[in-house]
Amino acid sequence: MSKVKVAAFSISLDGFGAGPRQDLQNPLGIRGTELHQWFFPTEVFKKMQQQSGGSQGPDNDVALQSFENVGAWILGRNMFGPIRGPWKDDSWKGWWGTNPPYHVPVFVLTHHSRPPLEMEGGTTFHFVTDGHQSALNQAKAAAKGKDVRIGGGVATIRQYVMDGLVDELQLSFSPVLLGEGEKVFAGINFAKLGYATAKIIPGENAAHVLIQKS
């Protein structure tokens, strides 16, 4: 059965999923890259960078599993880029170069329309202006029975969780204290929404916690 999931989403020990003041130089916010130090040494990340080598332990296993059976992604606009307001033109094509790491349809939440953007490797960005439920409906249709992965950012994940639309979240807790940024859990009663911890995987550089909805 297909699922709507959050997978391998990095979070600090004090609950932040991104640093503050995201811009072109800091796409994950100030100090945001520190959240992903567990991911950078893995074989999965090295292959994404067209490099060889990388670790093959539990952290790599979690990263690899996060891409399995994914038929479509949903991203908030901030995850696609730092541009705010109406699109000035179609020159911005994401952070990832000509061949983004998705390789399936990606639905980007935005208030400003833009034609679909077809990239190399099977990724096509679709820009959804009529809300997160519409994006989910379109993603499910495009996934053709596979899972839909909510890639972030934090506000997008929170929106889907609060509406009870996420089946499971796999959060990767990095041993870092950001102190400021975007909090994942603030104001959400996960237990009341029916979520419970299902599994904990100790990795080399992070603790990976699977939370599932009953």
Please write the tens of the pLDDT for every residue from 37-77: 999 999 999 999 889 999 999 999 999 999 999 999 999 99
How many CB atoms are closer than 10 A to CB 89? 6
Query: What pLDDT, on the 0 to 100 scale, is given for residue 139?
Result: 98
How many CB atoms are closer than 10 A to CB 164? 11
**Residue 91 domain flag:** no
- Residue 22: pLDDT band (50, 70, 90) is confident
Q: Which residues contact 54 (CB under 8 A, 6 or more apart)?
A: 41, 42, 43, 44, 45, 46, 47, 60
**Residue 40 domain flag:** yes
- Say if residue 30's pLDDT is above 90: yes
Query: What pLDDT, on the 0 to 100 scale, is given for residue 83?
Result: 85
Query: 214 forms bridges with which residues in the sheet?
Result: none
How many CB atoms are closer than 10 A to CB 43? 19
Where in the sequence is the domain holding 208, given as residue range(s)?
A: 4-83+99-213
Average pLDDT over residues 192-211: 97
**Residue 71 domain flag:** yes
**Residue 151 domain flag:** yes
Please write the tens of the pLDDT for every residue from 161-184: 999 999 999 999 999 999 999 999
pTM of the model: 0.95
What's the CATH number where 203 sits?
Answer: 3.40.430.10
Tell me which of 85-94, 106-115, 169-178 is least confident. Answer: 85-94
CA torsion angle 181 70 83 85 (round to 10): -100
**Residue 127 domain flag:** yes
Question: Do 23 and 48 touch, CB atoms closer than 8 A?
Answer: no
Average pLDDT over residues 71-90: 93
**Residue 172 domain flag:** yes
Domain count of the chain?
1
**Residue 199 domain flag:** yes
**Residue 167 domain flag:** yes
- Chain centroid offset of residue 84 CA: 19
